[in-house]
Chain A
Amino acid sequence: MNPEFVRTICPYCGTGCGVILRVEGGIVVGTYPDKGHPVSRGTLCIKGWTAHEFIHNPDRLTTPLLRRGDRFEEIPWEEAISLAAEKLAALAERYGGDAVGGLCSAKCTNEENYLFQKLMRTAFRTNNVDHCARLCHAPTAAGMAQTTGSGAMTNSIGDLAGAECILIVGSNAAESHPIIMGEIYKGADRGASLIVVDPRRTTVARNADIHLRINPGTDIPLLCGMMRHIVDVGLHDRAFIQERMDGFAEFKAFLHTWPVEKASRECGIGADEIRRVAEIYGQVKDAAIVYCMGITQHACGTANVQAICDLAMLCGHIGKAHSGVYPLRGQNNVQGSCDMGGLPNVYPGYQNVSDPAVQEKFQKAWGRELSPRPGLTVTEMIGAAGKEIRALYIMAENPAVSDPDVRHVLEGLAKLDFLIVQDIFLTETARCAHLVLPAACFAEKTGTYTNTERRFQLLCKAVDPPGEAKGDFEILCLLAKALGLDFSYRHPSEVMEEIAALAPAYGGISFDRLAPAGLQWPCPEPGHPGTPFLHERTFTRGRGLFVVPSYTPPYEKPDEEFPYYLSTGRMFAHYHTGTMTRRSPFLNRELAEPYAEINPEDARGAGIVAGDRIRITSRRGAIVTTARITDWVDKGCIFAPFHFTEARANILTNPVVDPICKIPEFKVCAVKMEKEGHEKQER
Chain B
Amino acid sequence: MDLVEMPDPLKEIVKSVLVERRADGVLGLRAYEGGIIQPYVFEAPGRVEALVTEPKWLLAKTAMSILRSSREGYRLAVISRGCDERALTELVKRNQIEKGRLLTIGIACSAEQASVCLCERPYPENLAAGEPVAGVDPFQDKAVQELLTGDGPARMEKWAKLLKRCIKCYGCRNSCPICVCTPCKLEDEVWVERGVIPAEMMAFHLIRAFHLADTCVACKACQEACPVNIPLFALQISMREALKTTYGYEAGLDPERRSPLLYDLYKEPGKGRVLPDWINTLGKDNES
Known: A35-B57, A46-B168. A175 touches B197 (CB 8 A): yes
Binds B, one of A26-34, A126-134, A356-364: A26-34
Q: Are A178 and B169 in contact (CB under 8 A)?
A: yes
Q: Are B167 and A24 in contact (CB under 8 A)?
A: no
- CB-contacts of B198-226 with A (<8 A): 198, 224-226
A675 interface residue per 8 A CB criterion: no
Closest B residue, CB atoms, query A630: B196
Per-residue B-contact encoding for A1-32, CB less than 8 Å = 1, 0 else: 11101010000000000001010100001101
Q: How many pairs of A and B residues are in contact by the CB < 8 Å rule?
A: 118
Q: Are A185 and B229 in contact (CB under 8 A)?
A: yes
Q: Are B174 and A49 in contact (CB under 8 A)?
A: yes
Per-residue A-contact encoding for B167-179, CB less than 8 Å = 1, 0 else: 1111100110000
Closest B residue, CB atoms, query A36: B37
Per-residue B-contact encoding for A156-200, CB less than 8 Å = 1, 0 else: 000000000000000000110011011001100100000000000
Q: Are B226 and A43 in contact (CB under 8 A)?
A: yes
With a cutoff of 8 Å between Cβ atoms, the chain B residues found around residue A42 in the complex are 224-225
Q: Are B195 and A512 in contact (CB under 8 A)?
A: no
Known: A516-B35, A589-B187, A589-B194. A2 touches B228 (CB 8 A): no
With a cutoff of 8 Å between Cβ atoms, the chain B residues found around residue A46 in the complex are 167-170
With a cutoff of 8 Å between Cβ atoms, the chain A residues found around residue B74 in the complex are 1
Known: A44-B171, A49-B174. A20 touches B38 (CB 8 A): yes
Q: Are B36 and A43 in contact (CB under 8 A)?
A: no
Q: Are A181 and B227 in contact (CB under 8 A)?
A: yes
Q: Are B34 and A512 in contact (CB under 8 A)?
A: yes
A660 interface residue per 8 A CB criterion: no
Closest B residue, CB atoms, query A632: B196
Q: Are A516 and B37 in contact (CB under 8 A)?
A: yes
Binds A, one of B61-69, B83-91, B118-126, B272-280: B61-69
Q: Are A189 and B228 in contact (CB under 8 A)?
A: no
Name B's interface SS: loop
Closest B residue, CB atoms, query A574: B195
B8 interface residue per 8 A CB criterion: no
Q: Are A590 and B195 in contact (CB under 8 A)?
A: yes
CB distance from A33 to the nearest CB of B (A): 6
Name A's interface SS: mixed
B142 interface residue per 8 A CB criterion: no
Q: Report the bound CA distance from A40 to B227 in whole Å.
A: 8
Q: Report the bound CA distance from A199 to B56 in whole Å.
A: 43
With a cutoff of 8 Å between Cβ atoms, the chain B residues found around residue A571 in the complex are 195
- Residue of A30, A49, A573 near B171 (CB, 8 A) is A49
Q: Are B229 and A189 in contact (CB under 8 A)?
A: yes
- Residue of A24, A35, A591 near B194 (CB, 8 A) is A591
Closest B residue, CB atoms, query A46: B169
- CB-contacts of B94-127 with A (<8 A): none
A251 interface residue per 8 A CB criterion: no
B284 interface residue per 8 A CB criterion: no
- CB-contacts of A586-631 with B (<8 A): 589-591, 595
Q: Report the bound CA distance from A433 to B256 in whole Å.
A: 64
With a cutoff of 8 Å between Cβ atoms, the chain B residues found around residue A517 in the complex are 35
Q: Are A174 and B169 in contact (CB under 8 A)?
A: no
A interface residue count range (under 10 / 10 to 19 / 20 to 34 / 35 or more): 35 or more
A257 interface residue per 8 A CB criterion: no
How many residues in B have their beta carbons less than 8 Å from beta carbons of A? 42
A572 interface residue per 8 A CB criterion: yes
Q: Are A590 and B224 in contact (CB under 8 A)?
A: no
B70 interface residue per 8 A CB criterion: yes
Q: Are B225 and A33 in contact (CB under 8 A)?
A: yes
Q: Report the bound CA distance from A332 to B288 in whole Å.
A: 45
Known: A44-B171, A45-B167, A46-B167. A174 touches B197 (CB 8 A): yes
A515 interface residue per 8 A CB criterion: yes
With a cutoff of 8 Å between Cβ atoms, the chain B residues found around residue A1 in the complex are 70-71, 74
Known: A43-B225, A43-B226. A29 touches B69 (CB 8 A): yes
With a cutoff of 8 Å between Cβ atoms, the chain B residues found around residue A572 in the complex are 167-168, 197
Q: Are A35 and B65 in contact (CB under 8 A)?
A: no
Q: Are B165 and A174 in contact (CB under 8 A)?
A: yes
Q: Are B165 and A185 in contact (CB under 8 A)?
A: yes
Known: A1-B70, A3-B41, A185-B228. A174 touches B35 (CB 8 A): no
Q: Are B66 and A3 in contact (CB under 8 A)?
A: yes
B40 interface residue per 8 A CB criterion: yes
B264 interface residue per 8 A CB criterion: no
- Residue of B40, B43, B164 near A5 (CB, 8 A) is B40
With a cutoff of 8 Å between Cβ atoms, the chain B residues found around residue A32 in the complex are 39, 62
- Residue of A20, A40, A179, A207 near B165 (CB, 8 A) is A207
Question: Which of B32, B37, B229 has most A Cβ within 10 Å?
Answer: B229
Closest B residue, CB atoms, query A591: B195
Q: Report the bound CA distance from A1 to B40 in whole Å.
A: 12
Q: Report the bound CA distance from A174 to B165 in whole Å.
A: 8
Q: Are B229 and A2 in contact (CB under 8 A)?
A: no
Q: Report the bound CA distance from A1 to B71 in whole Å.
A: 8
Closest B residue, CB atoms, query A181: B228
CB distance from A4 to the nearest CB of B (A): 8
With a cutoff of 8 Å between Cβ atoms, the chain B residues found around residue A589 in the complex are 187, 194
Q: Are B171 and A206 in contact (CB under 8 A)?
A: no
CB distance from A30 to the nearest CB of B (A): 7
- Residue of B33, B55, B56, B170 near A515 (CB, 8 A) is B33
CB distance from B44 to the nearest CB of A (A): 9
B25 interface residue per 8 A CB criterion: yes
Q: Report the bound CA distance from A43 to B168 in whole Å.
A: 12
Q: Report the bound CA distance from A206 to B171 in whole Å.
A: 22
With a cutoff of 8 Å between Cβ atoms, the chain A residues found around residue B171 in the complex are 33, 43-44, 49
With a cutoff of 8 Å between Cβ atoms, the chain B residues found around residue A516 in the complex are 34-37
With a cutoff of 8 Å between Cβ atoms, the chain A residues found around residue B198 in the complex are 203
Per-residue A-contact encoding for B10-51, CB less than 8 Å = 1, 0 else: 000000000000000100000011111111110100000000
- CB-contacts of B131-176 with A (<8 A): 164-165, 167-171, 174-175
CB distance from A22 to the nearest CB of B (A): 8
CB distance from B79 to the nearest CB of A (A): 14
CB distance from A177 to the nearest CB of B (A): 10
Per-residue B-contact encoding for A36-62, CB less than 8 Å = 1, 0 else: 100010111110110000000000000
With a cutoff of 8 Å between Cβ atoms, the chain B residues found around residue A2 in the complex are 25, 41, 43
Q: Report the bound CA distance from A207 to B38 in whole Å.
A: 35
CB distance from B72 to the nearest CB of A (A): 12
Closest B residue, CB atoms, query A595: B195
CB distance from A607 to the nearest CB of B (A): 24
Q: Are A45 and B57 in contact (CB under 8 A)?
A: no
Q: Report the bound CA distance from A515 to B229 in whole Å.
A: 27
Q: Are B227 and A179 in contact (CB under 8 A)?
A: yes
Q: Are A30 and B65 in contact (CB under 8 A)?
A: yes
Closest A residue, CB atoms, query B221: A42
Question: Which of B35, B74, B197 has most A Cβ within 10 Å?
Answer: B197
Q: Can you report 12 residue pairs joining A to B where beta carbons are below 8 Å apart?
A: A1-B74, A3-B70, A5-B39, A29-B69, A33-B225, A36-B37, A43-B227, A44-B227, A49-B169, A206-B164, A571-B195, A591-B194
User: Beyond A20-B39, A30-B65, A572-B168: 15 further Cβ-contacts under 8 Å?
Assistant: A3-B70, A7-B36, A24-B69, A29-B65, A36-B38, A42-B225, A43-B224, A43-B225, A45-B169, A174-B165, A185-B228, A515-B32, A515-B34, A572-B197, A573-B195
Q: Which 3 residue pairs across A and B have the least CB separation, nearest first? A: A515-B34, A591-B195, A43-B227
A residues adjacent to B (C-beta < 8 A):
1-3, 5, 7, 20, 22, 24, 29-30, 32-36, 40, 42-46, 48-49, 174-175, 178-179, 181-182, 185-186, 189, 203, 206-207, 512, 514-517, 571-573, 589-591, 595
